[in-house]
Amino acid sequence: TLTQTVQRSLHARIVPVPSNEFLIVMRDLTELRRLERVRRDFVANVSHELRTPLTSIKAMAETLLDGARTDEAVAERFLETIIRESDRLVRLSSDLLDLSRVEAKGVTREPQDMAILVGDVCGRLASQADKAGVAIVNEVRPPLIAEADHDEMAQVVVNLLDNAISYTPRGGSVRLYATETSETLTIHVTDTGIGILKDDIPRLFERFYRADKARSRASGGTGLGLAIVKHIVENHGGAVSVQSEYNKGSTFSVTLPRQ
Ligand code: ADP
């Protein structure tokens, strides 16, 4: 029992060896514990993120059933909320799938012209920017070749551009431009938006972290976009950084090795 107590308190294993001596095997569990905590937090976050829209969908449906459906204006408002919350659940499950996919897999890299890729993404988000009253100014010019996975890099640019549009008030703009060195290329997405407080910056790339919770929810954000960006970029041997001034705007920069 003494052995058991020592084992439990030290998280060590005691191995009897001949001649009345003991060998104590100790393992550093700090990293293991940290990973376990990260996993537990993640599951708790996912449950919370699922429960919030589901609770509101259920409450709306029950109220409609209880008679609110006879008032057409109220019914319409509730149904719109139900659709919006369902959309959020769809986005959440698709972001969770993306995240586990990029966490699990290595990348298949081929030479890509990042300028063409950026141009395609700007086209894809043009109508969203239009609706938000935000101008997109794309100054990334071909050729800008990096070895990368096309779909994953497109997702990186989509997530950054989508955020820049969502967190920029009407009348603002988002500019994309590139800088190069002999070994790397960097794509910058810079906006004239709400900016980010200094204290929030180190945590932005954590899963489910939101600096501006209300706005993230209103824009349908899942809090996973930047975590996905970071994973993809680091899988490519690159790095992502952010510079921001509160109430002025933010610049997210993705640096990739050419090779
Ligand atoms: P979300 O789905 O909430 O946008 P992200 O992981 O993409 O999640 O971003 C995390 C948080 O970082 C956002 O909730 C927002 O507070 C902040 N953020 C991201 N991009 C910008 C930006 N361009 N301007 C201001 N804040 C931003």
Convert the pLDDT of each residue in 113-168 to its tens digit: 999 999 999 999 999 999 999 999 999 999 999 999 999 999 999 999 999 999 99
3-12, 151-160, 213-222: segment of lowest average pLDDT: 3-12
Q: Is the CB of 160 under 6 A from ligand 1?
A: no
Centre of ligand 1 from the C-alpha of residue 210, in Å: 6
Residue nearest to atom 14 of ligand 1 (CA): 210
Q: Is the CB of 92 under 6 A from ligand 1?
A: no
- Pick the residue whose CA is nearest to atom 17 on ligand 1: 211
Mutate to test the pocket of ligand 1, among 192, 204, 208 (most ligand atoms within 8 A of CB): 204
Name the helix (H) or strand (E) containing 157: helix 150-166
Percent of all residues in the chain with a pLDDT value above 90, rounded to a whole number: 74
At 54-66, the pLDDT tens digits run 999 999 999 999 9
Q: Measured between alpha carbons, how far is residue 115 from residues 112, 121, 251 in Å? A: 9, 10, 18
The three-class DSSP label of residue 211 is coil
Query: Do residues 119 and 178 lie in contact, with contact meaning Cβ atoms separated by under 8 Å?
Result: no
pTM of the model: 0.85
pLDDT at 29: 81
Q: What is the pLDDT of residues 157-185, one digit of tens each?
A: 999 999 999 999 999 999 999 999 999 99
> What's phi and psi for 18, nearest 5 deg?
-60, 165
Mean residue pLDDT across the chain:
91
Query: Is the complex ipTM higher than 0.90?
Result: yes
- Is the beta carbon of 210 within 6 A of some atom in ligand 1? yes
**Amino acid 128: pLDDT:** 97
Are 57 and 85 in contact, with CB atoms under 8 Å apart? Answer: yes
What the block records as the tokens of 200 is 């929030």
Question: Distance between CA 208 and CA 225 in Å, rounded?
Answer: 9
Distance CA 168, CA 170 (A): 7
Burial classification of residue 228, based on how many CB atoms lie within 10 Å of its CB (0-12 exposed, 13-18 middle, 19 or more buried): buried
Mean pLDDT confidence for 95-107: 86
Q: How far, in Å, from the CA of 163 to the mean position of ligand 1?
A: 6
Residue 7 has pLDDT above 70, yes or no: no
Contact 163 CB / ligand 1 (< 6 Å)? yes
Q: Could you tell which of 49, 128, 210 is best to mutate to test the pocket of ligand 1, judged by most ligand atoms within 8 Å of the CB?
A: 210
Task: Give the model's pLDDT for residue 213.
Answer: 81
**What is the Cβ-side half-sphere exposure of residue 200, based on CA atoms within 13 angstroms?**
15
CA 176 – CA 135 distance, rounded (Å)? 11
The CB of 250 under 6 Å from ligand 1? The reply is yes
Q: pLDDT, tens digit, for every residue of 17-43?
A: 777 777 777 777 888 888 888 889 899
Whole-angstrom distance, CA of residue 58 vs CA of residue 61:
5
- Portion of the chain with pLDDT greater than 70, in percent: 97
Residue 10 in this model has a pLDDT that exceeds 70:
no
